[in-house]
Amino acid sequence: MQQAVNSGENTRLIVLISVVATIGGFLFGFDSGVINGTQDGLHQTFKSGEWMQGFEIASMLLGCAFGAFSAGRLADRLGRRNVLIVSALLFLLSAIGAGAAPSSAMFIIARVLGGFAVGAASVISPAYIAEVAPARYRGRLATVQQIAIISGLTAAFVSNYLLAATAGASTEPLWAGHAAWRWMFWMQAVPSLLFLVLLLAIPESPRYLMVKRRKDEALQVLGRLFGAAEAQAKLAEIDASLSTDHHRPRLSDLRDKASGRIRPIVWVGIGLATFQQLVGINVVFYYGAVLWQAVGFSENDALLINILSGALSIGACIVTVLLIDRIGRKPLLWVGSAGMAVALALLVFSFASGSLVDGRLQLPGGMGTLALVAANAYVVFFNVSWGPVMWVMLGEMFPNQIRGSALAVAGAAQWTANFAVTVTFPILLAAIGLAATYSLYLVAAVISVFFVLRFVHETKGKELEQMEG
């Protein structure tokens, strides 16, 4: 009976510290989604042209790529928790700076700082959760990260909608004479501060401590998580999984010592990270208001549609929590890819039926409804599969010795692809139209089905020490 009580207490602790780590995901989502409702304010305030406005929106993603690439290496040197603490500070500075920015240049600097925090949190939060959670429910806990991301996006959409509605429009003054769009950024300061405070209460990853040869501290953390009886055995497993020379993790570890080539597992991680963005999901999240206004919806209706998409995304992620440790990661990925391909095909069909009237795409008959249903089906398929599962797999699929370095490379690839898709969307929209642009995302979704079936290996139920590369 005592053993069951101890097990329950340890499980609660693991869940609690994992929830703290997922606040980084919430801020990742909030910081990504807040831009959606501020674009009219940015255009009016900074008088940016089409290309510059696209860069203002996408500039955060440059910071994300650098943050993701740097975070894995920094986490190997400073620790997982310390990198998350730095991220929390940068989230706070970015929220204040972006809202107060007097110029486009200062706004971009603030967004790049926030991007660094987003990039770091995007790879370190799931990695930290994977390194403290047991294999039997590791997938479920890591999937909560995606729920946190979508919750952050939805919170940003709701906040944007309420602030714009209170002021009358995003460009109108609200409190203290500042425009509503500035307050949209300042709202992020509250969860950023909460994240910073709570991080001080969670322990460092025991696997990081073992890599640094701090065995006594690792044993103490493992004892808190799994109980004294299991801690010694777990410590021995981690120790055995590390390289015999116990050298400091480095990027050169990503090469196979025998062949001199990049390890296949690293290429799979890069592929997962890249395809998650090439299917175009962040066009919906970053440009949702612009997209729905482009097909005839008002600004108010467009913001409400964003909230609907966010709510559906959360529901889809909850389904993933229930399924990921039962049916596995790989089936969710290929089913999600197939579903996204069908939904994108319907979007392309509906957009292709429209015609331009006064610079806006007008859809005939029920095509506007079809586009809305297809877009939300696409969002659901993404968030039941690639949204959470890619981050789960990146956090767990790499061997201990290379986890930080491989996360750095895969994370940078993910955010670089995100930047490319985001910054090119307004250009493609103007040059070739919605239908042709979404056809590119459709092709990526189709290819991703075959990528998963051919190259991705199941990680369900495996301990991190069993991962091979």
Strand partners, 360: 357
pLDDT > 90 fraction of the chain, expressed in percent and rounded: 14
| Mean predicted confidence (pLDDT) in 60-64 | 80
The answer on pLDDT for 422 being more than 80 is no
Using alpha carbons only, what angle is made at residue 420 by residues 418 and 425, rounded to the nearest 5 degrees? 100
Q: Per-residue confidence at 450, pLDDT binned at 50, 70, 90? A: very high
Cα-flanking dihedrals φ and ψ of residue 360, to 5°? -115, 145
Looking up tokens 């889809």, which residue turns up? 316
Q: Work out the end-to-end distance of the chain between its first and last CA atoms, rounded to an integer number of angstroms.
A: 40
Q: Which pair of tokens denotes residue 333?
A: 């990925």
pTM, two decimal places: 0.72
Sign of CA dihedral 28, 33, 34, 38: positive
Q: For 80-119, what is each residue's pLDDT tens digit? A: 888 999 999 999 999 898 888 887 788 888 888 888 888 8
Q: Average pLDDT over the chain, rounded to whole?
A: 79
Best CA proximity match to 149, nearest among 131, 125, 165: 125
Give the residues across from 362 on adjacent strands.
355
Res 244 pLDDT > 60: no
